[in-house]
Amino acid sequence: MATFDKATLRKIYDRTTGKCHLCGKKLAFSNYGEHGARGAWEVEHSIPRAKGGSDHGNNLYAAHITCNRSKQDISTRTARAYHGRTRAPLSVAKRKEAKTGNTVVGAGIGAVVGGVIAGPPGAWIGGGIGALLGNSKQLD
């Protein structure tokens, strides 16, 4: 079993904004490896080591101890499906990136629709409304 320093554990934990990447519920950073404690978690290998997975950062996620142990060597996709999920929670950086992207796309779509319907003033108004709608989209 690999051991991780505190800085590496923090990166793994922050990668999913402190949520279990399998069930999506909150973890407690201070309860790393504390089986039975509230929000207890451990490092989970998306591709299990038993199936050739490595300790490389892109294969490591934070997961509740019970979620991780029940996963065993099945695929992450299957384990998430047990909890009605299709992907891992986004990190803070990825969440901001997605939110900004939604704003730009929403503004563009709003401007096109507004321009078609009401000409240049409609494009300006539609772009503003599209940006607001794109920015307000709720992310996992």
DSSP string, 65-113: HHHHHHHTTS-HHHHHHHTT-SSPPPPHHHHHHHHHHHHHHHHHHHHHH
Residue 117 pLDDT: 65
Percentage of residues in the chain with pLDDT exceeding 70?
Answer: 71
pTM of the model: 0.63
Structural domains of the chain ordered from first start: 6-89 (1.10.30), 91-140 (no CATH)
117 within 8 A of 126, measured Cβ to Cβ: yes
**Higher-confidence position of 139 and 18:** 18
**Higher-confidence position of 108 and 76:** 76
Element (H, E) at 134: helix 92-135
**Higher-confidence position of 114 and 56:** 56
Residue 50 pLDDT: 85
| Cα–Cα distance for residue pair 13/77, rounded to 1 Å | 19
125 within 8 A of 112, measured Cβ to Cβ: no
Distances in whole angstroms, Cα of residue 134 to Cα of each of 17, 82, 86, 121, 124: 22, 30, 22, 20, 15
Which phi and psi (to 5°) does residue 92 adopt? -60, -45
Residue 8 pLDDT: 95
pLDDT above 90: residue 1: no
111 within 8 A of 126, measured Cβ to Cβ: yes
* Average pLDDT estimate for 126-133: 58
What tokens does 15 get?
């990668």
pLDDT tens-digit readout, 6-29: 999 999 999 999 999 999 999 999
Q: Give the residue among 60, 65, 75, 71 at the shortest CA–CA distance from 25.
A: 65
